[in-house]
Amino acid sequence: MVTVATLLLLRHGRTTANADGGLAGRQPVELDDTGRTQALAVGARLAGLPLAAVVTSPLVRCRQTLALALPAATPIEEDGLVECGYGAWEGQPLKTLAKDPLWPVVQQHPSAAVFPGGEAMAAMATRAVGAVRAWDAKLTAEHGPEAIWLACSHGDVIKAIVADALGMHLDLFQRITADPASVTAIRYTTTRPFLLRLNDTGGDLGNLVVPKKTRRRRSRVTDSDAPVGGGGGSAEPGADR
C-alpha cells in the first residue's frame, strides 16, 4: 500500500502585476480577468477530488484563486507558503530589475541571493519545504495514506519545493516552470519523493487519487521504489505490475 498522502501544489491565477510585468512580492495585488478565468478553469479540474485539506499562502491572490476554484473549501492559511520576501525589489518592473547586479545571482546562483531588505532565497526554500512536508505528514497521519491535499502558493515557492523533491540544488531551480493556475503533484515516501505532475495546466486530475484498497503481488518492491522501465502509468510509485 502507498504509505503517504499526495500533495497538489496550485499556483494562484494571473495577477495585475503579472500582466504588467512587475514583481508583486508580498504586496496585496489581485487577480486580473484572465486570472479569475484561470481559477474557475482549474476549479473544474479539481472538482470531485476528495481533498483532505486546502492550505494556502495568506496573500490575497491565493485566497482569491481558491475562492473561485474551490468555493466550498475552507482554506487554512500557512505562513510557510507565503511569497519570497523580495524586499526593495517588490513593486518594480522586471525589466528594471534585470539591470540590477543581483539579477544574475538570482538567475544563476539563487542559493546565494539575499534581497535587500528582504529574504534569502535559500531561507524561502527551507521554510516552504518544511511547511509542505510537515502538512503532508500530519494529513497522512490523520486521513490515511490515500489522502490527497492541496496547497496554493507562488511561482518561486513551488519551484523551490519541486527542486527539493527532485533532489536538485536550489541553484538549478530556475530550470523549473510554474505557470499561473498550474497544478504540480508530489508524493513523498520514506526514502524519496515522486514528482507526479509538473506545471500541469490541462487534463484530468482524477488518476492522482489512490484507490483505498490497492493490492500487489508479494514482492520486494516498496512504495519508495521507482518502476524500472517506467511502469504502466499508475499513480502509485513502485507498484509491482
- Tens digits of residue pLDDT in 65-115: 999 999 999 999 999 999 999 999 999 999 999 999 999 999 999 999 999
Residues in the chain: 241
Q: Does 89 fall in a domain? A: yes
Name the β-bridge partners of 93: 22
Looking at the structure of the chain, the number of domains it has is: 1
How far apart CA 83 and CA 86 sit, in angstroms, is: 8
Per the prediction, the chain carries an average pLDDT of 90
Q: Please compute Rg for the chain using Cα positions.
A: 18
pLDDT of residue 3: 62
Q: Does 98 fall in a domain? A: yes
How far apart CA 8 and CA 51 sit, in angstroms, is: 9
Q: 53 vs 56, 105, 110, 152, 168, CA distance in Å?
A: 10, 36, 31, 11, 28
Mean pLDDT of the region 34-56 = 97
Residue with cell 532565497: 121
Q: Is the pLDDT of residue 227 over 90?
A: no
The b/e string for 67-88 (b: 16+ C-beta within 10 A; e otherwise) is bbbbeebebeebebbbbbbbee
| Residue 66 contacts residue 54 (beta carbons within 8 Å) | yes
pLDDT of residue 79: 98
Q: Does 92 fall in a domain? A: yes
Q: Is the pLDDT of residue 38 over 50?
A: yes
What is the band of 4 on the pLDDT scale with cuts at 50, 70, 90? confident
Q: Measured in Å, how far apart are the chain's first and last C-alpha atoms?
A: 13
Q: Does 123 fall in a domain? A: yes
Three cell numbers, residue 136: 503532508
pLDDT of residue 230: 55
Three cell numbers, residue 12: 494562484
pTM of the predicted protein model: 0.90
Q: Does 215 fall in a domain? A: no
Structural domain boundaries enclosing 103: 6-202
Q: 199 vs 139, 181, 196, 203, CA distance in Å?
A: 23, 9, 10, 12
Query: Closest Cα to residue 185, out of 231, 237, 232?
Result: 237
Contacts of 130 (CB under 8 A, 6+ apart): 80
pLDDT of residue 1: 43
Query: Closest Cα to residue 234, out of 54, 41, 6?
Result: 6
Q: Does 139 fall in a domain? A: yes
How far apart CA 160 and CA 220 sit, in angstroms, is: 32
Which CATH number fits the domain that encloses residue 130?
A: 3.40.50.1240
Q: Does 222 fall in a domain? A: no
Q: Does 161 fall in a domain? A: yes
Three cell numbers, residue 57: 499562502
